[in-house]
Amino acid sequence: MYFFERNEEFRDRIICIDDEGREYTYGQIWDLGDTLTKDCRGISVLECSNDAESLARYLALLRKGCPVILIGKDLDDDAKKALKSTYEGEYPYNPELGLLLSTSGSTGDRKLVRLSYTNIQSNCDSIVEYLGLTKEERPITTLPMEYTYGLSVIHSHVAVGATIILTNRTLFQKEFWEMVEKYEVTSMAGVPYTYEMFERLRLREMDLPHLKTLTQAGGHLHEELQRKFGDWASETGRRLFVMYGQTEATARMSYIPPDKCIEKIGSIGIPIPGGSFAIAEDGELIYFGANVSMGYAVKREDMALGDVNGGCLKTGDMARMDEEGYFYITGRKKRFVKLQGKRFSLDQVQEILQEAFDCEEIICTGNDDDGIKVNTSSREVADREDEIIQLFMDKWQVRARLVTLNYLDEIPRNSSGKVLYSKL
């Protein structure tokens, strides 16, 4: 049985509690979803947030066999229109296709990851197993539903009949922490930025007796923070799971068991149940598992394609393995960075900036820790630094401190005109 199907064992259990304190049983969410999607046919684009209606619609579309493309309600309007005009509607699609997520939804990319029902169920089962989830869990949503990590939290807890505290409130709102206390939240998930905020808010000093589990993914967690939270978890009888994943593998590929959290700082851990890693001759990390996506879609016709990956994913990350079988990322093969838990294509961001400022002499570089650097040899562009930063904030919700501008006399290039990124 798929996790999204009607399971009579859970019918009268509470599936979620929302920002208004409304409780919904599994049966009520199933019925609400069926009502909301009764006229849905073909492929749907679902604008979602962490609320009961979004949850109901999403689970119902999966039950109906209607592939769903999840996007956030705050996504740029032009990106929304482009996705809907490209993909929404009734036309031939692979019957195994269940879910489509953007690898860089924050930049409005129409390139989607095609996930099958087997992909999402396989990853869900693995997560339930290594986290040891039960129906007594009460997680609170600290990540967007349309983000693969946030979505995996929902999948894995629905699978065991748990109660999800659905909120769109932020960590900086007192109401969020009131919900944590009132509803006896047992777990929270976060990207590296989340843990920076946990530390600023002094989470480790809070009286939260029901909080038993913390999970982290979405980028490299600073070693100092991992040590602080790992030690705190160990000393207070809690668990910290540091994990690694990609949308192309549905969500997660590896984790560090809590008892190895401090010993293996800097590692991405060991493969999840049912998965395995290999390191190619050039050092690239290769993942194998039933959660590997069917491939990408860049146009409507791609929805009819079968599984082109065959359970094998080239991660684009360079890696090494230690003597105990723990893996470590040593670099990135492609030009992507992860900021605030979202993956950004530097090439795509660069193209958007070049078009917005009508200038080819804009080259983007960056890394997960320092953010994105906008390099330019145009004085006119350099003088518009405030506009560039505002664009990042408005279009992609990237914080100003993660964007810097670097003015150069000229962009370094080789004899054939290719940019010498290493010199930037």
What pLDDT, in 10s, does the model give residues 317-364?
A: 889 999 999 999 987 777 788 888 887 888 889 989 999 999 989 999
Of 332, 348, 373, which one is at a domain's C-terminal end?
332
Mean pLDDT lowest for which of 37-46, 258-267, 364-373?
Answer: 364-373
List the domain range (segments joined by +) for residue 377.
336-423
187 in the same domain as 72: yes
What is the mean pLDDT of the segment spanning 66-90? 92
| Distance between CA atoms of residues 410 and 167, nearest Å | 48
168 in the same domain as 24: yes
What pLDDT, in 10s, does the model give residues 165-208?
A: 999 999 999 999 999 999 999 999 999 889 999 999 999 999 99
56 in the same domain as 92: yes
204 in the same domain as 346: no
| Distance between CA atoms of residues 113 and 80, nearest Å | 16
Mean pLDDT of the chain: 93
User: How would residue 109 be classed by pLDDT, with cut points 50, 70 and 90?
Assistant: low
241 in the same domain as 368: no
The residues, ordered by sequence, that sit 6+ positions from 383 with a Cβ below 8 Å of its Cβ are none
What pLDDT, in 10s, does the model give residues 277-323?
A: 999 998 899 999 999 999 999 999 999 999 999 999 999 888 999 99
Overall domain count for the chain: 2
299 in the same domain as 350: no
> Is residue 2 included in any domain, yes or no?
no
**What percentage of the chain carries pLDDT values higher than 90?**
82
Q: Above 50 in pLDDT, residue 106?
A: no
> Is residue 372 included in any domain, yes or no?
yes
Q: Above 50 in pLDDT, residue 105?
A: no
Q: What H or E segment, with its residue span, contains residue 307?
A: none
pLDDT score recorded for residue 79? 86
What pLDDT, in 10s, does the model give residues 218-247?
A: 888 989 999 999 999 999 999 999 999 999
Of 332, 356, 385, which one is at a domain's C-terminal end?
332
363 in the same domain as 282: no
CATH number of the domain enclosing 89: 3.40.50.12780
Tokens of 163: 């109660």
357 in the same domain as 305: no
Contact assessment for residue 117 and residue 157, using Cβ atoms and an 8 Å cutoff: no
